[in-house]
Each structure stands twice: as structure tokens, then as C-alpha cells.
Structure 1
């Protein structure tokens, strides 16, 4: 479901930037394709996925976006597609965590302000890399509030598929 959420946000960002929604959505959907294979050795995560996608003939730009989305490799994202996937990946986790603490456990009950408040709570969703989310301003030239709003609306639009 994380990949569906990432796909939805990537599609929304593609619309925002007037980019190819199908390509961007595919990058979001496939970005963790290797997770089940490498989950016991995350040092290979995203590198293995990019190789798998390349071998399957997937667009080189998508393969590179998948390769660089794992911040642990230290490969800086360069294109708008790469930068968007890089900052979107952790945002999905923050939004899901914020929804799950609501009585309804639904993203429909969230507003961007809720996510912004949770972003500032270090004890909340500790596994989410907040610094990467905040890089939306530098990498995408989007204010944090706007990025969160785009992401939240995208996830709300597929809440049924997400079970949230």
C-alpha cells in the first residue's frame, strides 16, 4: 500500500509540474520493487530494484529515480523526477502514521496542519526522515505546507485502495 500511496503523490506532483503522469506514477509504484528480496540486507535496497527494472526494459529515468530514492546510498537526486520521489517516499509514512492515531484511522480526517504538527513531534513516527521531507523546499521549490497538501490530497483520493 505504501507504493500505491507513493504512486498517487507522484502522479499529483507530475500534474503540478506539468510532467508525464504515467511515468511519474510508475516510478512511485515500482520504487520499492526489490523490498521483499532485500529486506534482510537493506544496504542493497533500491540498487537491486533499479537493476531489476533496467533488466525489464523500464525507462532509464525511472530506473535512476528508483536507484537514488534510498538516501542511505548518498546518491544525490538530480532530475525533478528523482527529487520528487526522494522527498515523497518518507512523506507517505508520516501521513499514514498521522491517520492511524485518529479514532477513525482514516486520511479523510486529516488536514495539512495535522501533518505539519506531527512533523515537528520528534517522538512521533520516529522512522520517518523529516529532513528529507523538508527538502521539498530546496529540491522542488515547493513550500513544505504546499507539498504536504499535495501529498495528503493525493492519498485521500485513493483512501479506499489504501484502506485508510
Structure 2
């Protein structure tokens, strides 16, 4: 079954009560939409956004079964296997062995953790915004393992490698995507 964005929002809200997880879902969704347009997948933008929105569907209620329980939840609703696979693939190497294959899955894998790190770095700025955030500031925070310690540097690096990009390129593109999202709010 195809899912509209509005139906995806309702599903997200059913399993995520906290503002933190919801806000991060909205940011990753917007970032995925930006990448879809920028990388020539504009006709799939809605799907990319939906994948970004639902990738952590199970995390708040089932953190020990992250990327596993979400597959069950979605299958029970008869959702598209492409959506189920894509959302689960971002847990590759930590909770599932579903390797990101499609460009969209690789972008999700690379940017999910990075959006958290960039968001945390932006909050440290006087502007509290990504608008004036530069790659060099993010790289400095990236090197500080205690800063945003929950954001896996290894996953970010692995994601950049999957895409064939260096870390600076991934950071620059993700900052641009988050700026576009910030303007849309």
C-alpha cells in the first residue's frame, strides 16, 4: 500500500509522542527531500521524504528493536516493501544487516546521524541556526567525541564513503539541506 505524507505523519505520531523524535523526523524528512531534488530524483521526492520521516518509527517505543520492530509495524499495515526496506537500511551494521543499496538509502544512512550533529552544533551558536554554520565548525565538533556523543562518527564516515564523497562534501550538502528546511519553517 502506498502511503501519503499525511498518513505517514499520523503513523509517526502514533508511535512517537516526544517532541525531540518528531522534530528530528521532520528535519530528516526535509533533508531527504532536498537531496532527492538535488541529486536528480525529484520525481521521487515524496517517497524520499516519507522514508526520512518514518526511519525511526520504532525508536521511541522499541529502542532495543530499532529498525526491526518498524518492519513489523509497517508490514502489519500492508505498507510498500520499498518503504520498509529503505527505512530499515539506515540501521545497517548496528541493528539490521540490510545494506543500503539505492542512492536514497545511502543518503539516509549518511545524513541521519549527521543532521543530529549539525543540529547540536547550530544550537551552540549565538544565532542557534544552521544559517551561519560552516563546515569547519561542524568538523571541529565532529572531532570532539564528547560533543553530541550519541551521533556516531563511524556511521557518518561510512555513509560518506558509500556515497563516494569526502566528509567535507557530505557536511556541506547536509548543511545546505538543513538551511533549506529551516527556511521552510
Q: How many equivalent pairs are there?
A: 159
Distance in 1 (CA, whole Å) between partners of 2:165 and 2:75 is 30
Distance in 2 (CA, whole Å) between partners of 1:143 and 1:11 is 21
2:67 and 2:96 in contact (8 A); partners too? no
Give the equivalent residue in structure 1 for 2:30: 8
Please state how far the C-alpha of 1:161 moved relative to its aligned partner. 6.6
Please state how far the C-alpha of 1:63 moved relative to its aligned partner. 0.7
Give the equivalent residue in structure 2 for 1:122: 145
Where does structure 1 lack aligned partners over 5 or more consecutive residues?
none
- 2:77 aligned with 1:53, yes or no? no
Distance in 2 (CA, whole Å) between partners of 1:104 and 1:17 is 29
2:109 and 2:159 in contact (8 A); partners too? no
Distance in 1 (CA, whole Å) between partners of 2:95 and 2:32 is 21
TM-score by length of 2: 0.77
2:130 and 2:179 in contact (8 A); partners too? yes
Give the equivalent residue in structure 1 for 2:58: 34
1:8 and 1:25 in contact (8 A); partners too? yes
**Residues 127 and 52 of structure 1: is their aligned pair in 2 closer, same or farther, counting only changes over 3 Å?**
same
Q: Of residues 74, 81, 95 in structure 1, which corresponds to 2:104? A: 81
Please state how far the C-alpha of 1:74 moved relative to its aligned partner. 4.3
RCO higher in 1 or 2 (8 Å CA, sep ≥ 6)? 1
Question: Which stretch shows the higher mean deviation, 108-117 or 49-58?
Answer: 49-58
Q: CA RMSD in A?
A: 1.9
1:12 and 1:150 in contact (8 A); partners too? no
Give the equivalent residue in structure 2 for 1:135: 158
Question: Which stretch shows the higher mean deviation, 153-162 or 60-69?
Answer: 153-162
2:31 and 2:181 in contact (8 A); partners too? no
Where does structure 2 lack aligned partners over 5 or more consecutive residues?
1-22
Please state how far the C-alpha of 1:44 moved relative to its aligned partner. 0.7
